[in-house]
Structure formats: C-alpha cells, structure tokens
Chains A and B, each alone.
Chain A
C-alpha cells in the first residue's frame, strides 16, 4: 500500500523567512496530494492540494510542487508569520474520494 514520508520532522524559522517541507510517496497510482495544517488540539485543516496533472499550485503565501516521476512533492510557505506555527501533514491518495494516507507530520515553529 501507499507510504508517505515527510521531512523534516521539526522546522524552526525566523518570522519572514521561508519554510519548505518535503514529502515522498511510494504508490505511482496516487494522483491527489493534499496538505493539512493542524494546530495544537484542533482538527486537520486542508490548506492546499494538488492533482497529478499539475506541477505547481500557488495560493497567496503557500505553494506546492509535484514531481510525479520522482514521486516527490513539497510545500513552500513564504513570509512566514507566527500564526503559521503548527504541524503540517502531507498526504496522498488515488483520487480525492479515496482514503488519504498521511505523512508523519512536520512541526513548524515561526519565531517572532
């Protein structure tokens, strides 16, 4: 079955700097890659997703890139703010209807 790896496990950046989180997946049949942000004690919230027919997607300060050949995808957050501090999970699934396999998470701390 699908396996999603994520690096780094923890990331600390200064406010205003960029943060990059990288993920790999194992199942070449995966075509849908969502990213979730989870604040302490709260539910995971979808922040951006990308489908395999697209190599890059951007939404304000957040961008995701996908390399299907290498089975890599990444989250880029620019101009980080303290409220970006949370655990970020990458995930993969065959379609947006199917089960989503989560990565182990990256704890991001943005230092004011």
Chain B
C-alpha cells in the first residue's frame, strides 16, 4: 500500500534555529497538507497546498512558517526561528485529485525545541 513518507522521524533543535521537515506524498496525489499535534492534544491544521501554491493556512501558520514543493516529489515545511511552543508532532498528509478518499497521513516528525 502506498505511503506518505516523512523525514526525519525525530528532530531536536535549539530555540531560534531553522528546521526543515520533509515529506514525500503518494505519487499520484495532488493535494498536500501539514498538521501538527502537541503531545496529548488534538490534531491541528497548519496549511494546505495545491497546484504549487498555498490554498489555505491557519492562524498558527504565521510568518515563521513556509512550505515548498521544490521538485515533483518532496513537500517541505520550514520553521524559520523555532520557539519552545513549536515542539510537537508534525504530520504531512495528501489526497488524490478525485477527493473520494480521505487523507493519508505520514508517520510524522517529532520536533523538540530546547
């Protein structure tokens, strides 16, 4: 079964440093998303991406965040200057163009800001 792949699985970074989280969506999927989950809490929407541009972003997704699809396969989330409260599990998700199938989530990147 096709999978959404995320790297790294765990990233520890110093406060104020930049991090890039990487995702490889399923190859024929057209819609891409980033969500985050603070430990023990619900999953929160960050941003959606379609046709090489942001479709929608939440209030969490401020100027410190950016997304990119630098090539035909990778989908990245960059946090420019990490804060302690950015510590969370970050999930990438994708769906095919038909919209008949719900999200397939990646295995996640656990980001720890120290």
The size class of the interface chain B forms with chain A is: 20 to 34
Query: How many Å from the CB of B22 to the closest CB on chain A?
Result: 16
The secondary-structure label for the interface of chain A is loop
* 50-98 of chain B: CB within 8 A of chain A: 50, 56, 58, 91, 95
Query: How many Å from the CB of A62 to the closest CB on chain B?
Result: 14
A43 at the interface (CB under 8 A from B): yes
CB nearest to B46 among chain A residues: A99
Given contacts A43-B107, A44-B91, contact A96 B43 (CB under 8 A): no
Measured between beta carbons, the chain A residues less than 8 angstroms from B106 are 43
Q: Which of A13-21, A63-71, A74-82, A102-110 is near enough to bind chain B?
A: A102-110
A45 at the interface (CB under 8 A from B): yes
Residues of chain A touching chain B, judged by Cβ–Cβ distance below 8 Å, are: 34, 36, 42-46, 49, 89, 95-105
Residues of chain B touching chain A, judged by Cβ–Cβ distance below 8 Å, are: 31, 33, 41-45, 48, 50, 56, 58, 91, 95, 99-108
Pull 13 A–B residue pairs with CB atoms less than 8 Å apart, ordered by A: A42-B107, A43-B106, A44-B103, A46-B103, A46-B104, A49-B102, A96-B95, A98-B56, A99-B33, A99-B45, A99-B58, A102-B43, A105-B42
Ranked 7 nearest A-B pairs via Cβ: A43-B105, A99-B45, A46-B102, A102-B43, A96-B99, A34-B102, A102-B42
